[in-house]
Amino acid sequence: MTLLDSLSRTVPKHLATRKISLVSNFNNQSKAASSSSSNQLHHKQHSSNSYQLLSNSIQNNSKKFASSSLKTYFSKSSALIQTAADNDSNMNNNTSRFNHYSIGTVYEIADLPLSPITLKMIMSFGKTINQQTLVGASYWLKDELPKRLARQVKQLDTLPHGLNLMPSIRKVRELYLSSFNDVMMYNELLSKGRDEGLQFTRKLQDIYERHQSTIINVAKGVYELKTKMKESIFKNSPTFDFSEYSDLHASLDSFHINRIGMRTIIGQHLCLHEQAHQPRKGFIGLVQMETNPAHVAQQAIEHASDLCRMTYGTAPKVIIKGDTSIVFPYVPSYLYYILFELLKNSMRATVENHNHADLPPIVITISAANDVKLREHVCVKISDEGKGIPRRDLHKIWTHLYTTAANNVDMLNDDSYSELNGPFCGFGYGLPLSRLFAQYWGGDLQLMTMEGNGTDCYLYLHCLGETEEVIH
């Protein structure tokens, strides 16, 4: 299976036998949420407990390290790296056996400036794939990747409210540290001309796969914190509202958008390698030169409808309207992710709001400026006649782990779920992650809703390929 196939693989076979229950157990909570704000304040003051103090001390440590250049760092520690590389030339494990770098060094590298890419840049770079361009890509990655990996480690260490101490977050952090070690060692091999990029590329493949479950593991970590807060700080008070911790949700957004950036540069490199042997018509790495939103929507509709039927025994029709011929360069797997998430939400809202025999269709409208020369954005609107979202809950929908479906911890602990194989609903990160995927290339996602009437989601996609990737 090619990397592109695996990126667009979506319908999990195991779901054919899975029954997902949909009990809206958060409705009562949200009703009570507005009733006692003073009570909440009192509880929040108690959040300075021991794990909060430990969390602060980790965060303060991270601020101590000033930035320096990657080059300076390499000249200081090349002997150490060389020994490590010699010892570990046969590194096929999923995690590094040694941690060769002090956390101070990791933080120093995390503070170095990044080199953001644009779609245009990666398209012009990958236009002609040959040994030389591939080695060139390896050289760029060997400088860029350690900074991005180190930034993720630091980001995880500085997650607020004790989230940085949750067991699942620590696991994710260890994996990033392993990848950082791996890249730094291969970095040195490349610099010494001992690898023409092939070993490095294999290592990148390992790293890409190693971080496959990051989204779920981070969600588990958030769930661990949420449970801890709810039980030990708020004593299961119905006034507990996790969405109020806006700094925490903003930090998670930063972590996830940086992750998208990192997977884009690694994924692009791996795809180019693959396409050097097996060219894929119309593609430069992950980028499809003529991405057609109507075509991508069609695939998302098929898979979301299958899942909806497995979950509810029925699925609403989806109609595509507007300019179905629009094409522009984009990463179709990212567009697919967003549309798939939005469609699942609209299907659930429709099925739960109507008699199964009489489901109103969901309408997808695609549009852009009539004059092609004036086109900056393509807009895709997804409209449903579902139950809508109460105004009092609107601020929660972009926060992590907010869901009105049964948020079943067993689902989070089920290893058969992955980034691309989630349940129909219930993890509560479909909307925030979809918005980040849209924002990454300079687009956006907005939602308008009328309770009892339906919801419109507006997806704006930047179509000129000129905006720099959004990374923090």
Nearer to ligand ADP, 293 or 426 (CB): 426
For 449, the enclosing helix (H) or strand (E) is strand 444-450
Nearer to ligand ADP, 207 or 457 (CB): 457
Per DSSP, the residues of 117-131 read -BHHHHHHHHSS--H
Contact 215, 154 (CB under 8 A): no
Q: Which of 235, 286, 233, 234 is nearest to 261 (CA)?
A: 286
For 379, the enclosing helix (H) or strand (E) is strand 377-384
Site for ligand ADP in 333-372 (CB under 6 A): 341, 345-346, 349
> Structure tokens of 34?
């507005």
Decide: is 30 part of the binding site for ligand ADP (CB under 6 A): no
Nearer to Mg ion, 257 or 425 (CB): 425
Shortest gap between Cβ of 358 and ligand ADP (angstroms)? 18
Q: Which of 44, 256, 248, 250 is nearest to 161 (CA)?
A: 248
Nearer to ligand ADP, 161 or 400 (CB): 400
C-alpha 81/C-alpha 185 separation (Å) is: 6
Q: How many other CB atoms are there within 10 angstroms of residue 352's CB atom?
A: 14
Nearer to ligand ADP, 273 or 387 (CB): 387
- How many residues bind ligand ADP (CB under 6 A)? The answer is 22
Q: Which residues contact 20 (CB under 8 A, 6 or more apart)?
A: 311, 405, 411, 423, 424, 425, 426
Of 206-214, 297-305, 338-346, 447-455: span binding Mg ion (CB under 5 A): 338-346
C-alpha 412/C-alpha 422 separation (Å) is: 9
Shortest gap between Cβ of 396 and ligand ADP (angstroms)? 8
Decide: is 389 part of the binding site for ligand ADP (CB under 6 A): yes
Site for Mg ion in 375-414 (CB under 5 A): none
Of 128-136, 215-223, 284-292, 397-405: span binding ligand ADP (CB under 6 A): 397-405
- Contact partner, 427, from ligand ADP, Mg ion, none, Cβ < 5-8 Å per class: ligand ADP
SS3 279: coil
Decide: is 129 part of the binding site for ligand ADP (CB under 6 A): no
Q: Which residues contact 297 (CB under 8 A, 6 or more apart)?
A: 318, 320, 339, 364, 366, 380
Decide: is 471 part of the binding site for ligand ADP (CB under 6 A): no
Decide: is 345 part of the binding site for Mg ion (CB under 5 A): yes
C-alpha 291/C-alpha 442 separation (Å) is: 16
β-strand pairing of 328-330 with 362-368: unpaired
Nearer to Mg ion, 125 or 337 (CB): 337
Of 13-21, 78-86, 229-237, 426-434: span binding ligand ADP (CB under 6 A): 426-434
Shortest gap between Cβ of 435 and ligand ADP (angstroms)? 9
Of 200-208, 361-369, 406-414, 425-433: span binding Mg ion (CB under 5 A): 425-433
Contact 334, 440 (CB under 8 A): yes
* β-sheet bridge partners, residue 368: 378
Closest-approach residue to ligand ADP (CB): 430
Sequence letter at residue 97: R
Shortest gap between Cβ of 382 and Mg ion (angstroms)? 12
Q: Which residue ranges make up the site for ligand ADP (CB under 6 A)? A: 341, 345-346, 349, 384, 386-389, 397, 402-405, 425-431, 455
Q: Which residue ranges make up the site for Mg ion (CB under 5 A)? A: 345, 425, 430
